[in-house]
Amino acid sequence: QKEVEQDPGPLSVPEGAIVSLNCTYSNSAFQYFMWYRQYSRKGPELLMYTYSSGNKEDGRFTAQVDKSSKYISLFIRDSQPSDSATYLCAIFPSGSARQLTFGSGTQLTVLP
């Protein structure tokens, strides 16, 4: 079993839709949670970073962490064609970013 499982997609939605991207993890030692957006042939860009259970909102993006279920989500409201990219979840335990573990990514396409 992989330490981080991510829905692979691909996911295709119409412009304006609410998008839900999800990851599950197996190691309860993981304490820090991130979402990256990666456009084709580019490096990942950090979208959200959180270390607590609950919701964190930034504009159209909301990161949700449920440590009891070992489940993290990224919601995108009012999705735009420019949101079309691969989204990677990443997690690591306290004090050890070298153990940063990535999901395999979900490819999202927002259709105009």
Partner 1 sequence: DGGITQSPKYLFRKEGQNVTLSCEQNLNHDAMYWYRQDPGQGLRLIYYSQIVNDFQKGDIAEGYSVSREKKESFPLTVTSAQKNPTAFYLCASSIDENTEAFFGQGTRLTVV
Which residues lie near partner 1 (CB under 8 A)?
4, 6, 8, 32, 34, 36, 41-46, 49, 88, 90, 94-98, 100-105
- Least separation, in Å, of the C-beta of 9 and partner 1? 11
Residue 15 vs 45, nearer CB to partner 1: 45
Specify whether the CB–CB gap between 22 and 78 falls below 8 A: no
Place of tokens 């330490």: 3
Whole-number minimum distance, CB 92 to partner 1, in Å? Answer: 9
